[in-house]
Amino acid sequence: MPQESSHRGRKVEAVRGTQDVLPEDAGRWREAERRARELLLLYGYSEIRTPVFEHAELFRRPLGEGSDVVAKEMYEFSDKGGRQLALRPEATASIVRAFVEHGLYARGARTKLFSIGPIFRYDRPQTGRLREHYQLSVEAFGNPEPSQDAELIDLGSTVMAALGIGGWECRLNSNGCGECHPAFIAALKAFLVPLKASLCRDCAGYRLEHNVLRVLDCKEEGCRALTEKAPDGIEYLCAACAAHQSGLEGHLGVLGIEWKRDRRLVRGFDYYTRTVFEFVPPGKGQQGTLLGGGRYDGLVELLGGPPTPGAGFGMGMERVLAASAITEAPVPELVHVVAMEKGDALFRAALSACRDLRKAGFRTELGQEGKSANSRMRAANSAGARAVVLVAASGLTVKDMKGEANLAIAAGDGAGLVRALRSVLSTGGI
């Protein structure tokens, strides 16, 4: 029995909370992203790509030192220059930073951007939410009206439909603004302080002290029961925020989008103002929301830009794909090119034929150099090739692997090869 090599290295596995998207799954990702991109372009959004790491301050300021992300979940590190950096825990702050840094606000009254990429949070890995997970982020700047919020919710529902997800529920609430929000926070804290001893550890400690809204969002049954009669933020809205909420509800009615108000819906970041919304997945077994967002009218100014209203949402790609029945887009049928004899001349002719076919849009694989013609044919058959191009000194032959059609072409006739292959493939369709 052969001895195992002593030079084999120790196997290294993926870091906990990350995953590999293997070839058999990557097609679903591409198709989901393709459909989403097409819709976003129809709605007037342009793609932007920002770095996966930023100065840590970029996230601390807008998300709030009291947010769970900043306090417990952000991947921070110092680089060799002593700068405190962070892997981005969400995309909105990065997109706003780019919007301000590059003066995109000067290009027109309204700017609509989207990105698809990874975000990072040190949290307990769960279904559809890993420590590195992918998110579609959609941001709209310059429109303070509830019509912008309605467009975003409509876009979210359209993306859900395009990805084959139905049965979701849209939940809606309002966080108010700088004028009315403090009064609600004070009332909520006054209600909760006498209950401190009965709250869970997180709510009685960090949340009550630094991020009291998250007590409403706690998943512990005891905390949810204790907060059933907590103050309702909608009752503290100023006239302007109440009018904004009423306008949004009217727009959603015109669009035919059903929604449910959820007084516990607060979102986790300090920058949200007025509208907050989430799409809750259908059925049981799905954890967390599929899509969530809202309005953030003070965020651009907070990060150094001019006063600019903004609104947006994020959609977790892993969760969406888990809930979706989407399949990989059809892949063109495979063509193998096989040199019938060994030798540089025929192999180079086969290589040239591959180039001609790929330029014409055919999915083409070259038979492995050094193998016999029979081995190459077996490989083509095992790979499920729809047709094989046989390269010999006398010329080329296109062989139909699912029928009897065989067409001969003169050596070096690239155009003739393309025509012959299209003729053969048309018998079964490509």
Amino acid 282: pLDDT: 64
DSSP letters of 45-98?
-EE----SEEETHHHHHHH-TTSHIIIII--EEE-TT--EEEE-S-SHHHHHHH
CA distance 76 to 197: 33
Helices (H) and strands (E) in the chain, counts: 16, 16
Instruction: Let me know the angle formed at the C-alpha of 191 by 189 and 195, rounded to the nearest 5 degrees.
Output: 100
CA distance 99 to 111: 9
Q: Where are the alpha helices (DSSP H) in 265-372?
A: 299-302, 317-323, 344-359
Which residue ranges of the chain lie beneath pLDDT 70?
A: 1-7, 64-68, 71, 128, 268, 282-287, 369-371, 427-430
**Total residues found in the chain within this entry:** 430
Amino acid 412: pLDDT: 79
Backbone angles phi, psi at 414, to 5 degrees: -60, -45
Strand arrangement of the beta sheet that strand 291-295 belongs to: 46-47, 111-120, 132-141, 310-316, 291-295, 273-280, 169-174, 260-261
The distance of Cα 9 from the centroid of its chain, to the nearest Å, equals 35
Instruction: Let me know the angle formed at the C-alpha of 106 by 103 and 108, rounded to the nearest 5 degrees.
Output: 135
The whole-chain average pLDDT of the chain stands at 88
> What radius of gyration do the chain's Cα atoms show?
28
For the chain, list the domains and their CATH numbers.
23-180+237-323 (3.30.930.10), 334-424 (3.40.50.800)
- What is the value of pTM for the model shown? 0.85
The distance of Cα 65 from the centroid of its chain, to the nearest Å, equals 26
Q: Per residue in 303-355, pLDDT tens?
A: 999 999 999 999 999 988 988 888 877 778 888 888 888 778 888 888 888 99
Amino acid 134: pLDDT: 94
CA dihedral (146, 67, 291, 297) in degrees, to 10, reads 20
DSSP letters of 201-237?
HHIIIIIHHH-THHHHT---HHHHHHTTTSPPGGGG-
Amino acid 7: pLDDT: 67
- Describe the chain by its helix, strand, coil percentages, rounded to 5: 40, 20, 40
CA distance 104 to 116: 19
41 close to 159: Cβ distance less than 8 angstroms? no
Amino acid 284: pLDDT: 43
Q: Where are the alpha helices (DSSP H) in 102-212?
A: 146-162, 181-192, 201-202, 208-210
CA distance 159 to 284: 21
The distance of Cα 216 from the centroid of its chain, to the nearest Å, equals 27
Locus of tokens 């290589």 = 351
DSSP letters of 322-345?
HH----PPPPPPEEEEEESS-SHH
Q: Per residue in 156-180, pLDDT tens?
A: 999 999 999 888 899 999 999 999 9
CA distance 171 to 263: 9
Amino acid 128: pLDDT: 67
Amino acid 55: pLDDT: 95
3-state DSSP call for residue 16?
A: coil
CA distance 369 to 362: 21
